[in-house]
Structure 1
Amino acid sequence: MEAFSRNGMRFDVSDEGPVGAETVVLLHGFPQSAQSWIGVSRPLLAAGYRVIAPDQRGYTPRARPRSRRAYRLNELVADVVALADAAGTERIHLVGHDWGGGVAWMFAATRPERLHTLTAVSAPHPRAVAKAMLTSRQSWQAWHVGFFQVPWLPEAAIRSRGGRLAVALLERSGLSADLARAYADRLINDPEGLAAALRWYRAMPLDTSVGLRAGAVTVPTTYVWSTNDIAIGRRAAELTSRWVTGPFDFKVLEGVSHWIPEQAPDALATYILERIRSISPTT
């Protein structure tokens, strides 16, 4: 499968591994793409799984609605349902990083019947984030969330001076110089894609109550956090277990930045496989 469709939109997809095998779906965050999962995919494929990584809404040229309402969580979750349907699989192992983690948490809370397991990477449960904002430095650490909701200014800042500010901020967050430059170039060379990616943030005020009402997750879950994540503090990470009632593991990667799929792909793949095999020990 090279693409799937929903409501007239067409999403590009990387789909590897045997059709009919248990399926792992990998959801990227900002400002990534399906390519951010390459290092994680290899061990999963070697273990015999089918691995599907879409370019999510806004990041794929034929799925860029212009309204911020189109980027609400219910729409993003429905995209993943459509992906699973197109792949011909009733239940998936879902992995999400950054914004992809936010979608994965909401998917697990609202569509548990479509999941085998959940592995959330970097992004804590949304109610853990809300709690941490009242009791820690989490609000300060997430300064960019508010900034990205401002009209036109974030786009101007990201494109300014050939993207040098964007590159500097991405490097400061832990990305290698090469990846920081590649991610920044992707944003500044595709103005429509940049605006669409920022609509994920600009839709957040429309979803505030939805996130705060997110129910406890009942499926087997692993949450992976890294100590050098400048966007997510320890308090939010540690609070996440309060909103998981199913089997739960909290994994900490010491000295790793927010960019876990790029910086520690083998360790992350190991955690994903451990979670999958906890319910499929013979796989």
Structure 2
Amino acid sequence: MRNLDERITTFSRDGLRFDVTDAGPIGGDVVVLLHGFPTDRTSWDRVASRLHAVGLRTLAPDQRGYSPAARPEDRDAYRLDELVADVLALVDASGREQVHLVGHDWGGALAWLVAGNHPTRIASLTVLSTPHPAAMSRAWRRGNEQRLKSWYMAALQVPRLPERAMAAGYDRLMARCGLPPDDRSRYAAKLAHADALAGPINWYRAARHSDVGAHRVQVPTTYVWGSRDPFLGRTAAELTREHVRGDYEFVELDAGHWLPETRDAESAAAILRRVARAG
């Protein structure tokens, strides 16, 4: 494990190198922040600054498919077991036995899996927007609400075309989804071309071929959901509590999907409550 007093700008796993923003008091408890699709580690900047102010250290990686030196071409390189292993490699690089884990969107789905499968490495879990994967599956089977919200997942299974279409209309599409202009511009500078989007879209393609179990989560957990989320519905949000065995808090906001960017104060407050209660 790495020296606790070293800043982490990158970490490596299986020949890939991931970029990391390491900020806040270096001796503070570590909070790992996992971004979603199609954004990057800067989605956490507003939230992270609030965590630093109370003594926490944050590690925000650009994940597999987003870091320039971690963009394998093969779809199977984006299986969930690989993504989980990436997060554990960052935890190892931090030099800590345990970290507080936070995720949004796909980063949230991944956070549920890491906490469920490796509870000894996670001191607490906070997930923004994304329900527990098993709750999501149950909501899909129960009726049309989640199926209608998730229509795009099937569209992204098509080879090559989604990357080209999304690159051509990135700003317009993200505006329709409610992402603020400054954030759209920042992400577009990295992602609004087909080659850069291939890896992120492969998360969707490979998920169907992954076998990581969505276990019930035993670590202290907070789930924050926006009631106006266009992608993730109420049924899955409310079912999530049935998949957490540990201390659990559900926070419903009158908000959309992009909680780290648009509701940084409420998001940070939920994280801080969870970290404090886990301590």
Pick the TM interval, shorter chain: over 0.9
2:154 maps to 1:146: yes
Q: Secondary structure at the match of 1:278?
A: helix
- Answer yes or no: is the 8 Å Cα contact 2:9–2:21 preserved in 1: yes
- Answer yes or no: is the 8 Å Cα contact 1:93–1:118 preserved in 2: yes
- Answer yes or no: is the 8 Å Cα contact 1:173–1:229 preserved in 2: no
Cα deviation, residue 111, structure 1: 0.4
| Cross-structure match for 1:205 | 208
Q: How far, CA to CA, are the matches of 2:184 and 2:278 in structure 1?
A: 37
Identity fraction in percent? 48
2:184 maps to 1:177: no
| Cross-structure match for 2:240 | 240
Q: Provide Cα deviations, 1:94-148, integer angstroms capped at 9, x if missing partner.
A: 0000000011000011100001000011110001000101223101101111111
2:172 corresponds to which letter in structure 1? Answer: A
Q: How far, CA to CA, are the matches of 1:159 and 1:29 in structure 2?
A: 17
Q: How far, CA to CA, are the matches of 1:12 and 1:182 in structure 2?
A: 17
Q: How far, CA to CA, are the matches of 1:140 and 1:117 in structure 2?
A: 32
Cα deviation, residue 88, structure 1: 0.6
Cα deviation, residue 185, structure 1: 4.3
User: Counterparts of 1:43-82 in structure 2 under 5 Å?
Assistant: 43-82=50-89
- Answer yes or no: is the 8 Å Cα contact 1:148–1:198 preserved in 2: yes
Structure 2: 5+ residue stretches without partners? 1-7
Q: How far, CA to CA, are the matches of 1:182 and 1:115 in structure 2?
A: 31
Q: How far, CA to CA, are the matches of 1:258 and 1:144 in structure 2?
A: 15
- Answer yes or no: is the 8 Å Cα contact 1:28–1:99 preserved in 2: yes
| Cross-structure match for 2:4 | none
| Cross-structure match for 1:135 | 142
2:131 to 117, 124, 131: 124
Cα-Cα RMSD: 1.3
| Cross-structure match for 2:261 | 262
Q: Provide Cα deviations, 1:63-93, integer angstroms capped at 9, x if missing partner.
A: 1111111111111111111111111111000
Q: How far, CA to CA, are the matches of 1:44 and 1:185 in structure 2?
A: 27
Q: Secondary structure at the match of 1:38?
A: helix
User: Counterparts of 1:32-111 in structure 2 under 5 Å?
Assistant: 32-111=39-118
Cα deviation, residue 168, structure 1: 2.4
Q: How far, CA to CA, are the matches of 1:99 and 1:2 in structure 2?
A: 22
Q: How far, CA to CA, are the matches of 2:192 and 2:179 in structure 1?
A: 17
Q: Secondary structure at the match of 2:38?
A: coil
Q: How far, CA to CA, are the matches of 2:232 and 2:159 in structure 1?
A: 24
Q: How far, CA to CA, are the matches of 2:39 and 2:263 in structure 1?
A: 16
1:194 to 183, 197, 202: 197
* 176-185 vs 95-104, which moves further: 176-185
Q: Secondary structure at the match of 2:197?
A: helix
2:216 maps to 1:216: yes
- Answer yes or no: is the 8 Å Cα contact 2:218–2:246 preserved in 1: yes
Q: Secondary structure at the match of 2:223?
A: strand
Q: Secondary structure at the match of 2:227?
A: strand
| Cross-structure match for 1:226 | 226
Q: How far, CA to CA, are the matches of 1:217 and 1:155 in structure 2?
A: 34
* 14-23 vs 236-245, which moves further: 14-23
1:152 corresponds to which letter in structure 2? Answer: R
Q: How far, CA to CA, are the matches of 2:219 and 2:141 in structure 1?
A: 28
TM-score, normalising length: structure 1: 0.92
Structure 1: 5+ residue stretches without partners? none
2:258 corresponds to which letter in structure 1? Answer: W
1:123 corresponds to which letter in structure 2? Answer: T
Q: How far, CA to CA, are the matches of 1:181 and 1:38 in structure 2?
A: 15
Q: Across the two proteins, how many residue pairs are aligned to each other?
A: 271
Cα deviation, residue 158, structure 1: 1.4
